[in-house]
Amino acid sequence: MARFAFVTLGYDGGKEFIFETTNESRIYHARRILSGEETQEVHVMGKIVKTPAPYNPGWSYHLDPATITFFTVAIEVCDASATYLEDHLDEACGAFLPGCHWCPWSSKLTREVT
């Protein structure tokens, strides 16, 4: 199990959002992003779960570890900052972020959390 932090630049004042994954290929991919080897699929996406997670303090939701992927570009309907999602969590998974899919376009992986 590995945990990584990201920020959604320009929206959240540098406040980190932490996700977890147990998928070995996703862990390897995330580490390649952090090392600078991966420069294309660098943004984080996954399905939101509307409950807090102990490893992601300050947020009322987390990403389902089994759904974590990385992307270069994604459709607009799944884009939102972490703060906007927090403020509109009750609306998520309907017309806002259909299917609970979240793909913050400005997400930037910042570190591996130990």
Q: Give the containing element (helix H, strand E) for 8.
A: strand 2-8
> What is the per-residue pLDDT for 92?
98
> What is the per-residue pLDDT for 55?
93
Positive or negative CA dihedral for 19, 24, 26, 31?
Answer: positive
Whole-Å CA distances, 112 to 16, 21, 39, 77, 80: 12, 11, 17, 28, 22
Give the whole-angstrom CA distance, residue 106 versus residue 74: 11
Whole-Å CA distances, 23 to 62, 66, 114: 17, 7, 17
The full set of domain ranges for the chain reads: 2-113
> Over its length of 114 residues, how does the chain's per-residue pLDDT go in tens digits?
788 888 876 556 678 899 999 999 999 999 999 999 999 999 999 999 999 999 999 999 999 999 999 999 888 899 999 999 999 999 999 999 999 999 999 898 999 998
> What is the per-residue pLDDT for 1?
77
